[in-house]
Amino acid sequence: MVNAKNSPGWGSASASNRSSGTTMINLPTGHTENLHSLECFPKLKGRKMMKDSIHSALASDDILLEILLRLPEKSVFKFILVSKRWLYLICNFSFRRCYEKQWGAHSRLFGFFVCNFLYIDRPQDGVRRPRYEPALPLLSTCKESDDLMSSGILRKLGYFIDYSDGLLLCGRHPKHYYVWDSVTKYRRQLPQPQKHYKYLCTAFMTEDPSEGRGDIVYRVVRANCECRVDVINTISIETFSSLTWTWKPSTLVCSSEFALSPWTVGTVIKGVIHWFGTYRSLAIYDPGFGERRITSIKLPVGQLTHDYEDSILGESSDRLLQYGQSGKHGLETWVLYKEHDNSLSPFDTRCEYRWKLRCKLSYKELWKQNPNSGIRSKEPQILSFIRRNSDSVFIRLGSNIYQCNIRSKTLEVIPYHCDALSIPWDFCKVVPYFQKIWPHSPLQNPPDIFNPYASFS
């Protein structure tokens, strides 16, 4: 037996090789023909074990999703090309919600939908919409919305009502409603409601899917609006759920007498619905509570906008309800804070609400900063908040739409494609539609073979 350490002509293992855990033997001259057969086998075995461990880790959905949650958006979008399984997991609604909670949701302005109130609550002998006028006008701001306008899909949806998480709620009150996905281009007609409301307001919300489901879960709420002098403290509502595919009627009770403002759309924040009420009031309804109760609070009174003409609701950057109103001299915005009454029992869900002024902007100051905007000759109309943005709002000046930064007092014109002369602005509600940026999978069910490197063939 040859001792490599003591035999002449044999070198010892180098220090660097010893430190790396690999033993490389220096051969004497003339003995290099079988060099590859003398390499250490544990090194190859370690590589194989590492490769197997990576494959086994990527074969687990939980581990793979945890890895994807830590990657930037551009990398995640590229990985949909790896396999059918990766495509399905990344496009799954549950994973998208988890990713948005960690990184934030990214969306783009798709356009502005126009809702004409002359036709929504039209009586039987009222004004009829001319055939040349579209039921669902869209002020297009990108190529995708131009393609949507020319496709003819909007003609099949009726009038615009609301949107949530990229889904559109359209239809014709009080019987026909459609939910349309602008990404998948799927349109689903809802069953006809059980109750008939002559005057109503609505709310549209999406929820996280239950365990094992990848589809978006949504609900539609119709609330009866009693337009009488003797207002009442009970409100009849009807709720549709995409899980049960049925309408469920119920009655809400309020401690004070008030009525909901007809033909308005509720603002939903963390599952809580906020409706405009009559006599400068705001109605708050949380469907998550077992008790059927609705709370009414007064809207704030502005100093600059005490003679306000337009008002809006939205979600602030800190995920609170924000309220804005505009008048002849300027606009103001508030945020609603909720405080629990310590005098009540811990099981009592009643809260105290408090408005806090956040921004105030004078049109005179805005005109000085933007002399070419035409504010002096035209009265601006506040249109909408930008979702989860407390600094900017959309306003209209004539037929022009601007994004107004309240803090910096700057205006940015929003170009759009549409015949603005055919829109009766004074009778219309203009709603910005933001489309979320996320890939879509044509796979309705998870693939059968869960091989992380399976090809699309």
Judgement on whether residues 269 and 313 belong to the same structural domain of the protein = no
Residues 236 and 327 in one domain: no
CB atoms near residue 159 (< 10 Å): 21
**Which among 283, 298, 313 is the end of a domain?**
298
Residue 377 has pLDDT above 60, yes or no: yes
Token code pair at residue 404: 């107004």
Contact present, 93 and 441 (Cβ < 8 Å) = no
CB 198 within 8 A of CB 252: no
pLDDT (0 to 100) of residue 437: 78
Do the strands 381-385 and 392-397 form a parallel or antiparallel pair, or are they unpaired? antiparallel
Does residue 139 lie within any of the structural domains? no
- Is residue 129 one of the residues assigned to a domain? no
Tokens of 74: 């551009």
The DSSP secondary structure of 420-454, one letter per residue, reads GGG--GGGEEEEEEEEE-----S-SS--S---TT-
In the predicted structure, residue 123 carries a pLDDT above the cut 70: no
Torsion angle (degrees, nearest 10) of CA 172, 387, 436, 111: 60
**373 versus 19: which is more confidently predicted?**
373
The CA-atom distances, in angstroms, between 125 and each of 159, 178, 225, 226 are: 19, 25, 21, 22
Four-CA torsion 306, 309, 311, 317, nearest 10 degrees: -60
Residue where one domain finishes, among candidates 268, 298, 328:
298
Q: Is the pLDDT of residue 79 over 90?
A: no
Question: Omega of the bond prior to 174 within 30 degrees of 0, cis?
Answer: yes
Q: Greatest CA separation found in the chain?
A: 114
Q: Each residue of 379-419: pLDDT tens digit?
A: 788 999 988 888 999 999 888 899 999 989 999 999 998 86
Q: Would you say residue 26 lies in a domain?
A: no
Q: Which of 244, 242, 114, 226 is nearest to 170 (CA)?
A: 114
Burial 172-194 (b: 16+ CB within 10 A, else e): ebbeebbbbebeeeeeeebeebe
What average pLDDT does this structure show over 62-79?
A: 86
Helix (H) or strand (E) run with residue 237 in it = strand 234-241
For the segment 313-321, the average pLDDT, to the nearest whole number, is: 92
Q: Please check whether residue 145 lies inside any domain of the structure.
A: no
Same domain, 318 and 281: no
CA distance 455 to 453: 6
Number of domains composing the chain: 3
The string of DSSP codes covering 160-206 is: EEEEETTEEEEEETTTEEEEEETTT--EEEPPPPSS--SSEEEEEEE
pTM of the model: 0.77
Greater pLDDT, 159 or 11: 159
The answer to whether the CB of 217 falls within 8 A of the CB of 209 is: yes
pLDDT at 245: 94
Are 309 and 290 part of one and the same domain? no
State the Cα angle at 373 between 367 and 377, rounded to 5°.
75
Residues with Cβ within 8 Å of residue 91, at least 6 apart in sequence: 80, 438, 439, 440, 441, 443
Say which DSSP state 2 is in: -
Selected residue with higher pLDDT from 216 and 349: 216
Do 285 and 277 contact (CB within 8 A), yes or no?
Answer: no
Structure-token pair, residue 207? 């929820």
Domain assignment present for residue 135? The answer is: no
Q: Please tell me the distance from the alpha carbon of residue 206 to that of residue 105, in angstroms, as a whole number.
A: 15
The arithmetic mean of pLDDT across residues 304-316, rounded, is: 88
Sequence-ordered list of residues with C-beta below 8 angstroms from that of 69, at least 6 positions apart, any chain: 98, 99, 102
Average pLDDT (266-282) is 92
Give the burial class of 34: count Cβ atoms within 10 A of its Cβ; 0-12 exposed, 13-18 middle, 19 or more buried: exposed
Residues 203 and 268 reside in one and the same domain: yes
Residues 6 or more apart whose Cβ sits within 8 Å of residue 397: 373, 374, 375, 378, 380, 381
253 and 318 assigned to the same domain: no
For the chain, the average pLDDT equals: 78
The range of the structural domain enclosing residue 229 comes to 157-298
Domain at 277, CATH number: 2.40.128
Compute, in degrees rounded to 10, the torsion defined by CA atoms 260, 261, 266, 267.
-110
Q: Are 213 and 314 found together in one domain?
A: no
Q: How confident is the model at residue 322 (pLDDT cuts 50, 70, 90)?
A: very high
Give which of 131, 149, 150 is closest to 139, Cα–Cα. 149
Residue 131 has pLDDT above 60, yes or no: yes
* Domain identity same for 285 and 372: no
Q: Given pLDDT bands bounded at 50, 70 and 90, which one contains residue 228? A: low
Distance CA 361, CA 339 (A): 28
Split at pLDDT 50, 70, 90, the class of 135 is confident
- Say yes or no: 314 and 221 in one domain: no
Q: Which of 144-153, 236-245, 367-376, 387-396 has the lowest mean pLDDT?
A: 367-376
227 with 327, same domain: the answer is no
> Residue 253 domain-assigned?
yes
Q: Are residues 308 and 264 in the same domain?
A: no
Cβ contact 343:364 at 8 Å: no
Average pLDDT estimate for 26-37: 43
Query: Do 229 and 319 share a structural domain?
Result: no
pLDDT band per the 50, 70, 90 thresholds, residue 19: very low
457 belongs to a structural domain: no
Which residue has 């609900």 as its token pair? 219
